[in-house]
Each structure stands twice: as C-alpha cells, then as structure tokens.
C-alpha cells in the first residue's frame, strides 16, 4: 500500500478557473494551507511536480491542463486532483484526494507514541481526510454519481467501470469509504441506505457516505474487511467471497504466507490477480508456501465457479487449497 485515495466520479464537465478556484476555496476555508514546497502537477507537462510556485500559478495551470495541487491540513499533506475531463479511455471525469498510507497505519508510529497514541493520531488523520472529502463533495455541482475511497484505487481490478457507474450498476462493490450521489440514492432508496449495517453511515448534501470499516487499521488477517458480507446481505446482493492475499501486507522474513483480505471478484479477474501475486511472492520468498482459502456454502451445491477455482489453484498454479464451509 502506498496511498489512500478518494475519488468522486463525475460526468465530464469543462475544466476552468471557476471550478478549480471553488475547490481550492472549499479546502482552504476548512483550514488547509497550500503546500508551496510540493506545489502542483500539470497533466500536460511531465516535468512536474512544480514546487516553489505560487498558489495563483497552480490554479491557472490546473485550470487549463488538469492536474493536482498539494495542501497541508494540520500538518497532514494531501494532493487534490482535479480532472473533470476524462483521461485516456475513461468516460467519466473525477475529482480526487490522496494521502500517504502511513497517515492511517498506527504501526508506523507505535514505537514513538505507543499503541494508543499511534491509533489516536491515525483516527484524527482519518477524520480530517474525511472532512476534506466532504468539503469537496459539498462544492461540486451537479453532484458526483459515485465516490469511493480505499488503498491504491488505481491498482484495483474490480472497481466499477465507467460504463457501470453511468448505468448505476455499482453493486456489489463496497470499499472502505463509499459515496452515493442522488441517482444512486434514488435507485436504492434512502430508507434502505441509512440503516445499512456499515461501520458508519452519514447523510451529506444530496448524498450518502458510508464506511465499510474504520480507515486506520493494522495489517493482518481480515484487515479492513469490516461489515462487507453483512452489507451485501442487507441489500440482497448475491455474492461469493474468496479469500486472497495482498503482497504488500507480508514481511520479508515470512516463509509461509496466507490470506489477507476478502473482495468480490469475477473469476477471470481473480485468476489474473492471484497469478500475478503468486508469481511475485514466489520470486521474492524462495521456498515459501502459497495457499488459498475458499469459502463454500454449507448444505448447498458448490457453485461451478468455486469448483473451477479450486481446480485452477491446485492444478495450474500448484498452490495448496483449504476449504471453509459456511
């Protein structure tokens, strides 16, 4: 994990000085300060980032080129990305924010602050980051269709596609932090969204925000999973969960490496993801064991794709398989 990202997916709109200025005003009114040392990034000039430049210059350039501007909020640095026009093959624009993941991981400061002090600091950072996101949400008009927040979003293989978001087909994707705009609220119903069994649900201006789990967490088995399955059950979404491992969560000294988190994945994406990480793990940890845990329904026929995954993991990837019946 490198960053925690929040992205608001929006229908394309012109990038102009008014939009950029409104976003900058929203975060500075909250208490953010332009980080002149870091400066800004222009999408049309790969020599950046351009540190030591004025905020006025940053607004002018990003208003023309799209890009990102760096800020400090109570000594926590973050980047405000402003790309209302689709990038490359995208169909949607986005407004986003990201911070270094160490701001949300207590293990980095426990030696200095102690366990409680480190967790308290990360909780404050998380709340500050959410406040920034809410300030950005409030100033955007029309509201985003959808928003998501999690670690390293750009590397996820199963986040909703632009086409799915435009068609309001965002289920059963649930991230650590989720934002639903007016169209999704109309689809699912506020009376269904507000009482969902999430870690936290909050009504925003023409939107709803909910957490799958608290943002700061320690790496390890089930880290950040939260109430994923309970939320899916609440909405009646039919999903199958397969435990997979996350390469970034293991220590180099470990020689037996297991499963770290659960996500919904279609079978082709899952195979691609697993093969990539198995190959990386085997290359990095000579002689390490790879095993995959499959959750199977109790008292019901095992779905075909579960049988196929078990065969593929064992026969083609040479990994060990452990079954959990639920």
What digits encode the pLDDT tens for the residues 81-140?
A: 999 999 888 999 999 999 998 898 888 888 899 888 988 899 899 999 999 999 999 999
Q: Report CA Rg, the chain.
A: 21
> What's the pLDDT at 159?
81
Per the DSSP assignment, residues forming a β-bridge with 320 are: 291
The whole-number pLDDT of residue 78 equals 97
Residue for token pair 């169209």:
183
Instruction: For tokens 């998501």, name the residue.
Output: 148
User: Is the pLDDT reported for residue 306 higher than 60?
Assistant: yes
Residue 309 has a pLDDT of 78
- Residues 218, 198: Cα–Cα separation, whole Å: 19
Flag the least confident range among 3-17, 177-191, 252-266: 252-266
Rounded CA separation 240/229 (Å) = 9
Point out the least confidently predicted range of 16-20, 100-104, 161-165, 205-209: 100-104
d(C-alpha 184, C-alpha 85), whole Å: 22
Give the Cα separation of 215 and 120 in Å (integer). 12
Could you tell me if 4 and 103 are in contact, meaning their C-beta atoms sit under 8 angstroms apart?
yes
203-212, 232-241, 243-252: the lowest-pLDDT one: 243-252
Which DSSP symbol is given to 143?
A: P
Q: Where are the domains of the chain?
A: 3-211, 240-325
- Please check the confidence at residue 154 and state whether its pLDDT lies above 80: no
> Max alpha carbon distance in the chain (Å)?
65
Within 10 A of 193 (CB to CB), how many other CB atoms are there?
19
Q: What is the pLDDT of residue 11?
A: 96
Look over the chain and give the mean of its residue pLDDT values, rounded to a whole number: 83
What residues pair up with 45 in beta bridges, in sequence order? 42
Judged against a pLDDT cut of 70, whether residue 182 lies above it is answered with: yes
Name the band, by pLDDT with cuts 50, 70 and 90, for residue 45. very high
């Amino acid at each position: 994990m490198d960053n925690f990202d929040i992205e608001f997916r929006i229908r394309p709109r012109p990038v102009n000085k008014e939009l950029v200025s409104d976003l900058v005003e929203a975060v500075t009114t909250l208490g953010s300060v332009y980080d002149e040392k870091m400066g800004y990034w222009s999408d049309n000039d790969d020599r950046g980032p351009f540190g030591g430049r004025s905020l006025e210059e940053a607004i002018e350039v990003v208003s023309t080129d799209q890009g990102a501007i760096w800020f400090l909020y109570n000594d926590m640095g973050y980047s405000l990305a402003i790309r209302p026009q689709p990038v490359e093959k995208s169909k949607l624009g986005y407004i986003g924010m990201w911070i270094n993941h160490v701001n949300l991981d207590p293990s980095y400061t426990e030696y200095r602050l102690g366990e409680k002090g480190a967790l308290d600091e990360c909780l404050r950072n998380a709340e500050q980051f959410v406040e920034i996101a809410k300030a950005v949400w409030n100033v955007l008009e029309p509201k985003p269709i959808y928003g998501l927040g999690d670690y390293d979003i750009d590397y996820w293989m199963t986040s909703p596609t632009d086409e799915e978001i435009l068609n309001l087909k965002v289920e059963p994707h649930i991230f650590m932090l989720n934002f639903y705009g007016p169209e999704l609220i109309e689809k699912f119903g506020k009376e269904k969204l507000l009482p969902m069994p999430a870690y936290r649900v909050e009504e925003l201006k023409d939107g709803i925000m909910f957490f799958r789990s608290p943002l700061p967490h320690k790496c390890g088995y089930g880290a950040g999973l939260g109430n994923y399955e309970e939320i899916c059950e609440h909405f009646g979404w039919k999903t199958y969960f397969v435990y997979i491992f996350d390469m970034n969560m293991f220590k180099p000294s470990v020689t037996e490496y297991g499963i770290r988190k659960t996500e919904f994945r279609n079978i082709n994406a899952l195979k691609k993801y697993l093969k990539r990480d198995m190959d990386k793990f085997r290359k990095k940890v000579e002689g390490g064991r790879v095993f995959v845990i499959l959750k199977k329904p109790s008292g019901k026929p095992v779905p075909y794709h579960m049988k196929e995954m078990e065969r593929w993991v064992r026969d083609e990837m040479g990994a060990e398989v452990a079954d959990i019946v639920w």
